[in-house]
Structure 1
């Protein structure tokens, strides 16, 4: 690594992947149903609305089972500037006012840092001082005055092999919905890991610890262990470590990352990070989340979805996010199939991006697109993804996809999904979605 930008790219990409728990686990096949899941119904960015997001079902399914992680606990702290965290979602003035009142003296603008700024070198020295004796190399740091927020990354060697370790500090609204999502352990169906715990500490802070993998499909033996702390005031400390000198494209250098799970906890909960926190200040309050529109909540989507399945399949697992996205795992006696669905309101502004020249236009103006493609570029071997995507004239959209396995991160267990393309198309076009 030759500069701050290189360090930021290497470390932040890894941190983002770590708690996104989704980015490398799954992939989107063109304008698939990913956008609704990734955005949890809050289609913030045009790029995401059109489905062109690197994370799919984990950003849908762990975003469906974890939008939590599509937002990214590490991104929330490291990439949003001095006042921190997950960007506040635009909402009605009333919601903003109510959220500000709820925060009392904190207000909706957060607070400026009360402490002196620290340089990147000082932040690095805090990390070095918290690690057991060893040799350090590849050191990169970012100070509290940096718009992207403070960060420390280094390669640590305790005599048993080199390991990349990094920490970022930031702030979020401690009462915001995004915090709950980021602290929630993901569904193992989408993000395999060895262990994950989420707990509230005696001082009111909340902590998530996870022992997982750099690649959810485990195509390499690179392990990724991470910790994410949110203090009662809303400061965050995010840490990640690998059993290699870099999170990607580096050979495994040791069986496990160097810090045990208890040591990771000690690292992020250390009082040594307090000067960094004081320098960056608190984050603004998140506007209160709006309840899902009728028929777009998870319970309604699952009920309708199950009612439209062919009788030959039985449901073996289900889940989703609070609105617009759900998933089912079904079995017809010949192996499991993962089914995912997004049900979205007015999407007319991106209809041109979602439906190209190959789309079918029905007499009532409904646009329909079907796709069959590989789903194994970032998932299990031999995975195929079949998708039926429809949009009504008013922009109401239903997208349903099927895989030839019960998880996209595991190898295919059957030649084709349990549902045919015609059956997927029938589900997407059903009038039952408007009756929910």
Structure 2
């Protein structure tokens, strides 16, 4: 029998799967807010909250925190769950029209039944599920064995505003500077849906080679289904039970595009929090392209940029080389951070106030907590108007690989000069009308 969302074990399992799928979703808020540092992953330090988003393209936080993830099988079935929705076959995941009547709820038992119908015959254990009426949103988890070894599997459901940052991130391949993977494909299907398949690993630092493969479907109208499979019976702390997860890329595609799953998304009750438009932030985020361009311009002339980050806001990075080895340099540029000034730059922080009112703290310490020998140097500055600039340099080419040199390519004084440069306020876009 399936266990609905109130089961503590279910919450622990899916919570762990959600954190592990991205490798970085359970942010150390104390470290991010008080120290403004990232250890082993990209960070985006936001006012009143901290979000680690380096692997956001792998795991999706859905309606009520539902997990979006995949498992194994050949996905040959074409089953329907609940009422409403549109018929979508493999390779033809089109937009899901708004139903004329409220669709029937889908129970956890129905989700588990659909899962088993879509997978080849096998043995199941640790079956856990919650339906569409759950406050935390629908999700399914099971350990599946097709005779070739046990595999932990999870499926989750989501809905995004079409064209939003969250929708874009859901279908982007992860940045290899933060998330190692063997392969990532991104395909546009008939009807405008996007399908992303990532063949990656459970641990960003690859300390154990547990594989984690994920397929994410996003329709043109924002409905999302994601499936995750591992080559072990549990996400973490379990021995590898098979060479690879059970489903191949083509099987993942067939499985995640089955119309039964989109009908589950349609049956999720509207979230009142998303129905009420939120007030716009006082100042929009700074474009990552402008951040990287400015950072590059402020680097010492002897440093050559050999890699840089892609699209986004408030965050960017470059990889530089001075002939002595590559060095990873990351930066966050965040407006309206005055409400955390006392925590980050108050008494005991070591902050120095410059003549123009900018407060700045510099520090050096371990760049990871895995004993790899990474060194991180950081300069953290805040302007009188609340603009915060945090720039860090590592003695490695990324935050998930070992040292490439003895020390970072930038000194603390050089980082301080970059963080307090007068060019940063000029990047802020005008506040919305």
| TM-score, length-scaled by structure 2 | 0.80
Q: Partner residue of 2:293?
A: 303
Q: Partner residue of 1:223?
A: 211
- Contact 2:167 2:222 survives alignment (8 Å): no
- Contact 1:177 1:289 survives alignment (8 Å): no
Change (3 A) 1:331 1:23: farther
Q: Partner residue of 2:396?
A: 405
Q: Partner residue of 1:257?
A: 245
Q: Tell me the secondary structure at the aligned position of residue 354 of structure 1.
A: helix
- Contact 2:62 2:157 survives alignment (8 Å): no
The partner residue of 1:31 within 35, 38, 43 is 35
Q: Tell me the secondary structure at the aligned position of residue 253 of structure 1.
A: coil
Q: Tell me the secondary structure at the aligned position of residue 373 of structure 1.
A: strand
Rounded Cα–Cα distance in structure 1 between residues aligned with 2:329 and 2:220: 38
May I ask how many residue pairs the two structures share in their alignment? 388
Rounded Cα–Cα distance in structure 2 between residues aligned with 1:392 and 1:362: 10
Q: Partner residue of 2:139?
A: 151
- Contact 2:286 2:333 survives alignment (8 Å): yes
Q: Partner residue of 2:48?
A: 46
Q: CA deviation at 1:321?
A: 3.9
Q: CA deviation at 1:273?
A: 2.2
The partner residue of 1:120 within 77, 85, 108 is 108
Q: Partner residue of 2:7?
A: 4
- Contact 1:144 1:280 survives alignment (8 Å): yes
Q: Partner residue of 1:376?
A: 368
Residue 132, structure 1, aligned to residue 125, structure 2: no
Q: CA deviation at 1:11?
A: 2.4
Q: Tell me the secondary structure at the aligned position of residue 378 of structure 2.
A: strand
Q: Partner residue of 1:352?
A: 342
**Could you list the runs of 5+ residues in structure 1 that have no partner in the other structure?**
82-105
Q: Partner residue of 2:162?
A: 174
Q: Partner residue of 1:141?
A: 129
- Contact 1:25 1:216 survives alignment (8 Å): no
Q: CA deviation at 1:325?
A: 1.5
Rounded Cα–Cα distance in structure 2 between residues aligned with 1:432 and 1:425: 14
Q: CA deviation at 1:289?
A: 12
Rounded Cα–Cα distance in structure 2 between residues aligned with 1:422 and 1:177: 35
Q: Partner residue of 1:94?
A: none
Per-residue displacement from partner, 1:196-247 (whole Å, max 9, x unpaired)?
1111111332111110000011101111001111123432211111011110
Q: CA deviation at 1:281?
A: 5.2
**Could you list the runs of 5+ residues in structure 2 that have no partner in the other structure?**
68-95, 428-433
Q: Partner residue of 2:320?
A: 330
Residue 212, structure 1, aligned to residue 200, structure 2: yes
Q: Tell me the secondary structure at the aligned position of residue 267 of structure 2.
A: helix
Rounded Cα–Cα distance in structure 1 between residues aligned with 2:202 and 2:411: 33
Rounded Cα–Cα distance in structure 1 between residues aligned with 2:276 and 2:19: 21
Q: CA deviation at 1:339?
A: 0.4
Rounded Cα–Cα distance in structure 1 between residues aligned with 2:284 and 2:166: 22
Rounded Cα–Cα distance in structure 2 between residues aligned with 1:323 and 1:279: 33
Map 1:223-242 → 2, pairs under 5 A: 223-242=211-230
Per-residue displacement from partner, 1:325-357 (whole Å, max 9, x unpaired)?
211100111100000111222311110122241
Q: Partner residue of 2:65?
A: 79
Rounded Cα–Cα distance in structure 2 between residues aligned with 1:262 and 1:269: 11
Q: Partner residue of 1:420?
A: 411
Per-residue displacement from partner, 1:166-195 (whole Å, max 9, x unpaired)?
111232223323111210102212211011
| TM-score, length-scaled by structure 1 | 0.80
Q: Partner residue of 2:261?
A: 273
Residue 317, structure 1, aligned to residue 320, structure 2: no
Q: Partner residue of 1:430?
A: 421
Rounded Cα–Cα distance in structure 1 between residues aligned with 2:105 and 2:323: 62
Rounded Cα–Cα distance in structure 1 between residues aligned with 2:422 and 2:220: 46
Per-residue displacement from partner, 1:355-403 (whole Å, max 9, x unpaired)?
241222234432111121212226x821121110111222122110001
Rounded Cα–Cα distance in structure 2 between residues aligned with 1:275 and 1:323: 33
Q: Tell me the secondary structure at the aligned position of residue 49 of structure 2.
A: helix
